[in-house]
Amino acid sequence: MTRPVKKVIVIGLDGLEPKIVEPMLDRGDLPNLAKLRAEGGYSRVGTTFPAQTPVAWSTFATGTNPGGHGIFDFIRRDPQTYLPDLALNRYEQTSAFLPPKAVNLRRGTTVWNLLNAAGIPAIVLRCPCTYPPDIGKGRMLSGMGVPDLRGGLGTSTFYTSAAGETAGESENIVELRPESSGTIRTQIIGPRNQKGSGPSANLTADIRLDVDRSKRQVVVHSSGQPRTLEVKEGQWSDWLRIKFKIGMLQSVSGMLRFYLVRLEPVIELYASPLNFDPVTPMFPISAPWEYAAELSRKVGTFYTTGMVEDHTGLSNGRFGEAAYLDQCDQVVREREAMMLYELDRITEGLFFCLFDTPDRIQHMFWRFREPAHPANAANENADVTYSHDGSADMSRVIEDHYRRCDTIVGKVIEKTDDRTLLVVLSDHGFNGFQRGVHLNSWLHEQGLLKLCDGVSPGEEAGEFLRKVDWSGTSAYALGLGSIYLNLRGRERDGLVAPEDARSVQTRITQGLRGLIDPERGDVAIRGVVARDEVYAGPYAAESPDLIVNFAEGYRVSWATALGGVPRGICEDNIKKWSGDHIIDPALVPGVLFMNRQFNSAGPRLLDLAPTILDALGVPKGPAMEGESLLS
Amino acid sequence: MKLLVIGLDCAAPELLFGDERLVNVRRLMAGGCHGRLESVIPPITIPAWQCMVTSQDPGSLGVYGFRNRADHSYSTLDIVNSKSFKAMTIWDHLALEGKKAVIIGVPPSFPPRKVNGICVGCFMTPSVDEEYTHPPAVKDEIRSLVGEYMVDVKGFRTDDKEWLRDQIFEMSRRQFTVVRHYLDNAKWDYFHFVNIALDRMHHGFWKYMDSRHPDYEPGGPYENAIADFYLHLDEEIGRILAMLDGDTAVLVVSDHGAKALQGGFCVNEWLVEQGLLVLKDYPAEVTPFGKLNVDWSRTKVWSEGGYYARVFFNVEGREPQGVIAPGEYEEFRDVMKAKFEATTGPDGALLGTLAFRPQEIYREVRNVAPDLIVHFGALDWRSVGGVGYGGVIHLRENDSGPDECNHAQFGAFVLAAPNVPELGKIEGARLLDIAPTLMEVGGYEIPETFQGRSLFGGSLAETGGAAGVSVEAEEVIRQRLSGLGYIS
């Protein structure tokens, strides 16, 4: 007889793919997960439309489809400007003279809201779309959505003594000019200066670099903590806490780590994005607000931005695979430490902790699983010195990381008792991303998107839909697989009359369904769903009009996400960001393990919130669409 | 852009900028520019606020203080009121463009000014039973909001400090209630109020705070009274800021600063001693100047007291019994200026007195100006007009009741607006620069009659709201999305 549940522990392993997990389970590579499967159960778990991390975890948290929580995509758009923006949160400034306040765009009622209302505490670590943090009884550390000091998800800086280096994705380049003594004076690029432009566009903090070739290191002198920081070649440094003066009186502090890539023939030094210091964040990142500081006191300081893995450093070729994995390892150790700190002291209620890193590692290493991946030809200089177990085979990195996750699950199992419900799940699976589809270019080809006179698809069309002639445009794509109608009464220059919306939708749906990649001859798009087929609820009207379900190996192209209209319809994805999951959700379910038997007939992420509530004896919320899996 | 002026009478830069607990003031400082603001001569509430809002110096306005000579007779001075000022204020200029104003307690505002909007009388309002608002119905509205509106603390030169402090706080709270009401409920493009309560706090409590004050005693009961009042102001400013939309410029500004009062310099007593002021009979007790029996036929110089001295010469052909020949006037004035500047303190050391010729410091000299304006000890000392101190020149007490501070030449300003760059601390700003600066920030043309210059020198004018999407907006979006990974 099972005893009633006193605590529910939920471990999120972002992006764990059933098609990798299942054979590993069978081979005995994941003994702890296998144990859960044997004692309780295992199933694939249905993800959301679309299969994106913030959407999926918000559905996990609220038990509603995205129409009930308002997160439909990483990116949303303002119909009045046609401009994209981050969809997870926004900053509201009620007065121009008071500091802006972060507002979470994930709405609805969460499982922890309901538990708190029933007097049950919850501890939520790093759940996406929990910024700003909101918890009544318990503790919360915000996850995806927390910005870096510059207000984005993460902008790094690459210092090089070579001239003429151009900035890659999400990075600043700073050219180093060594003085004859070998000393280098330079700056850390801080937050954007709200009102500055040109050279004063950024706040900066002066640093001095002393290059010591005999010790293979650079010593960073700054006004921060510590005053002198040793950065060894091929290693990540400790944290440097540094303050930036805002105006004359205020300062904002952040922290960063360096990675010294090389000293010869040129000096190359990578600086991570500036994270909020958990002790003095610019905006609250925990609830209670001092909780982040408490954690850093107990388990050491930690990365705080919403996406903590330095994937752009690897994408931009600033450092190799080994350095990236080192950094991921640090992230996982931090997360594990805070998880264990809490598991040791909780006695009741919900504990949730997300490990994002499996998602970030798979994005960057999927290419090694697919020899034909276009990224392999483009990135022949992959860092093959990496060796986890003496092997140099990069294709094993993902499995290795799954084993790491399994070890973490083992440590969690040790903290459970017979009154604990343990849930381990991923929010979606994973897949290769070999080819990108230019949705706007297809709309243009179909005459549904018009470019200004004399402008053809390609670079001249720019991004942000800049050269779109709205007077002749019926539909446009923005974000990660979203298509919007240029709807009269909603869009600024709306063209499509509401009564014609259905026929335009049908035309797009029929045109894209089964779209063949002209170069490869493969099906690139399996189908398109209209909003009312998949969304219902108070926020459904904010959703895209159409969601594109890509086939395996395909995804929306890089350019489309920000409103580009390139030439052609499909292109190779040659980036190291080579795996993805924003395809037909039916193709990328997640995994679900529990230490108790559950109804494994087609569970969905929707069912998890009711399950957690059921286990703790709290009725599910009125908006929750799923059912408890325990009954 | 809408313009909001938060006037803090007498706010001292070292106090306003020196307390990091004033978080709302700090926010404005961080979001724009701030600095010392050099006042006019004399740095006195009247005429300083009018100089600020008209961008004209006291000479051009023809008003040299609360009291002014109406003519060249020896009769006592007239007290000014709102009708003494004819020059167009910033809100008069805006009214020409149909813009609405709310003016609350901007001295002098009694009788209430007929503005295009609302005007509430200042501390010179004799009683709130009078018609002290425009339109008159505003008076009833204020009564229903706060009951008895307080334009001033009557009898603020008192030793009953407990009572005084409570009264000042109450006056201030009632005014902020009224201010918030009209910020919300009136239509306005220009909103200007002046908190006189701060000036009363300084005059009533300075000695408890400032170790440079001769009567300072550490750890006194009111040591934090002034700091507490600044905290109150900051909190009220925070409540106001939360009510504003993004299209508003906010200026926190004072008409002058404050400093410890070392004592009184008996200017007429001193003139008697110098033989320049001749009395028919020296009074048996301390007597105000107006009640002295002056022998005008032998008197060359006399003065009015106050925070500073208005010094008048008895000039032949100008005054009824003038004795200084017009041809000797300038030479005599040079000598007098030198004499004043050579005045010494009780210890015999030079006071550092400043004497000004109106014709030198003003662009124009209208009405009847003093012949010299004297700041004893650069206003460390006030000017005592009475005679009968038996040859004593330096007084510790004030002749008109307890008063712990004098005015300092430098007030303070903090200006923040969406179009104002973060310039931090600015040096060299002057009182007359405020109105043109506000005009530029608000997007208005600066009238030619304004004597000051905009602190931004026209540099804000170029940033117009461009149609379409700015490159900057795209840059912000790119920044917000940077690091997402799914895009590039």
Hey, is the C-beta of B238 within 8 angstroms of any chain A C-beta?
Answer: yes
The whole-angstrom separation of Cα A184 and Cα A176 is 7
* pTM score: 0.70
Query: Is B411 in a helix, a strand, or coil?
Result: strand
How confident is the model at residue A382, as a pLDDT?
A: 55
Complex-level ipTM beyond the 0.90 threshold = no
CB contact under 8 Å between A153 and B481, yes or no, is: yes
pLDDT digits (tens, 9 = 90+) for A24-53: 999 999 999 999 999 999 999 999 999 999
Hey, is the C-beta of B480 within 8 angstroms of any chain A C-beta?
Answer: yes
Nearest by CB to residue A96, choosing from B20, B244, B483, is B244
CB contact under 8 Å between B480 and A582, yes or no, is: no
CB A126 within 8 A of CB A303: no
How confident is the model at residue A194, as a pLDDT?
A: 63
CB contact under 8 Å between A247 and B29, yes or no, is: yes
A432, containing H or E segment:
strand A431-437
Nearest by CB to residue B473, choosing from A83, A147, A247, is A83
The runs of H, that is alpha helices, within A521-597 are 531-534, 558-561
How confident is the model at residue B157, as a pLDDT?
A: 85
The whole-angstrom separation of Cα A370 and Cα B177 is 70
**Chain B residue at shortest CA distance from A316:** B488
pLDDT digits (tens, 9 = 90+) for A391-432: 457 889 999 999 999 999 999 999 999 999 999 999 999 999
Interface test with B, best of A78, A95, A97, A155 (most B CBs within 10 A): A97
User: What average pLDDT score do residues B58-69 get?
Assistant: 95
How confident is the model at residue B468, as a pLDDT?
A: 41
Give chain B positions within 8 Å (CB) of A250: 26, 30
pLDDT at A458 over 90: yes
CB contact under 8 Å between B29 and A96, yes or no, is: no
Of residues A2 and A274, more confidently modeled = A274
**Chain A residue at shortest CA distance from B237:** A97
From B447's Cα to the closest Cα of chain A, the distance in A is: 28
Please report the number of interchain residue pairs, chain A to chain B, with beta-carbon separation below 8 angstroms. Answer: 134
Give chain A positions within 8 Å (CB) of B27: 97-99
**Chain B residue at shortest CA distance from A248:** B424
User: What average pLDDT score do residues B449-478 get?
Assistant: 70
Of residues A321 and B157, more confidently modeled = A321
User: What average pLDDT score do residues A487-492 get?
Assistant: 96
Give contacts of A 224-253 with B, CB under 8 A.
Answer: 246-250
Hey, is the C-beta of B466 within 8 angstroms of any chain A C-beta?
Answer: no
Nearest by CB to residue A152, choosing from B27, B420, B479, is B479
Give chain A positions within 8 Å (CB) of B238: 98
How confident is the model at residue B449, as a pLDDT?
A: 92
User: What's the mean per-residue pLDDT of chain A?
Assistant: 93
CB contact under 8 Å between A577 and B481, yes or no, is: no
The least confident of A30-34, A90-94, A321-325, B157-161 is A90-94
The whole-angstrom separation of Cα B4 and Cα B417 is 10
pLDDT at A384 over 60: no
Hey, is the C-beta of A80 within 8 angstroms of any chain B C-beta?
Answer: no
Amino acid at B351: L
pLDDT at A247 over 60: no
From A193's Cα to the closest Cα of chain B, the distance in A is: 9
How confident is the model at residue A557, as a pLDDT?
A: 97
Six-digit token pair at A576?
């190291």
CB contact under 8 Å between B242 and A96, yes or no, is: no
What confidence tier does A250 reach under pLDDT thresholds 50, 70, 90? low
Q: How many Cα atoms are found within 13 Å in the side-chain-facing hemisphere of B158? A: 15
How confident is the model at residue B467, as a pLDDT?
A: 36
pLDDT at B200 over 90: yes
What confidence tier does A84 reach under pLDDT thresholds 50, 70, 90? very high
What confidence tier does A197 reach under pLDDT thresholds 50, 70, 90? low
What confidence tier does B260 reach under pLDDT thresholds 50, 70, 90? very high
How confident is the model at residue B337, as a pLDDT?
A: 96
From A97's Cα to the closest Cα of chain B, the distance in A is: 6
The least confident of A232-241, A280-289, A576-585, B32-41 is A280-289
User: What average pLDDT score do residues B133-156 get?
Assistant: 95
What confidence tier does A388 reach under pLDDT thresholds 50, 70, 90? very low
pLDDT at B440 over 80: yes
Cβ atoms within 10 Å, residue B459: 12
User: What average pLDDT score do residues B94-105 get?
Assistant: 97
Residue with tokens 């999951």: A581
CB A142 within 8 A of CB A286: yes
From B484's Cα to the closest Cα of chain A, the distance in A is: 6
Give chain B positions within 8 Å (CB) of A579: none
Nearest by CB to residue A247, choosing from B30, B244, B482, is B30
Instruction: List, edge to edge, every strand of the sheet that includes A590-594.
Output: A41-45, A590-594, A420-425, A7-13, A349-355, A122-125, A138-141, A286-287
CB contact under 8 Å between B241 and A84, yes or no, is: no
The whole-angstrom separation of Cα B232 and Cα B240 is 13
pLDDT at A602 over 60: yes
pLDDT at B279 over 60: yes
Nearest by CB to residue B479, choosing from A151, A311, A562, is A151
Hey, is the C-beta of B424 within 8 angstroms of any chain A C-beta?
Answer: yes
**Chain A residue at shortest CA distance from B415:** A97
- Percent of chain B topping pLDDT 90: 83
How confident is the model at residue A94, as a pLDDT?
A: 66
How confident is the model at residue A389, as a pLDDT?
A: 45
- Percent of chain A topping pLDDT 90: 85
The whole-angstrom separation of Cα B52 and Cα B63 is 13
pLDDT at B45 over 60: yes
Residues forming a β-bridge with A433: A553
pLDDT at A88 over 70: yes
What confidence tier does A181 reach under pLDDT thresholds 50, 70, 90? confident
Give contacts of A 568-587 with B, CB under 8 A.
Answer: 575, 577, 580, 582
User: What average pLDDT score do residues B387-396 get?
Assistant: 92
CB B264 within 8 A of CB B397: yes
DSSP state of A460: G
Nearest by CB to residue B246, choosing from A96, A148, A193, is A96
How confident is the model at residue B284, as a pLDDT?
A: 94
What confidence tier does B255 reach under pLDDT thresholds 50, 70, 90? very high
Give chain B positions within 8 Å (CB) of A247: 29-31, 422, 424
Hey, is the C-beta of A193 within 8 angstroms of any chain B C-beta?
Answer: yes
From A527's Cα to the closest Cα of chain B, the distance in A is: 21
pLDDT digits (tens, 9 = 90+) for A491-525: 999 999 999 999 999 999 999 999 999 999 999 99
Burial class (CB within 10 angstroms; exposed 0-12, middle 13-18, buried 19+) of A604: buried
Alpha-carbon dihedral angle through residues A581, A585, A586, A591, given to the nearest 10 degrees: 70
pLDDT at A321 over 70: yes
From A305's Cα to the closest Cα of chain B, the distance in A is: 10
How confident is the model at residue B464, as a pLDDT?
A: 40
pLDDT at B26 over 50: yes
pLDDT digits (tens, 9 = 90+) for A201-214: 788 999 999 999 99
User: What average pLDDT score do residues B419-436 get?
Assistant: 91
CB contact under 8 Å between A247 and B422, yes or no, is: yes
**Chain A residue at shortest CA distance from B473:** A83
**Chain A residue at shortest CA distance from B250:** A97
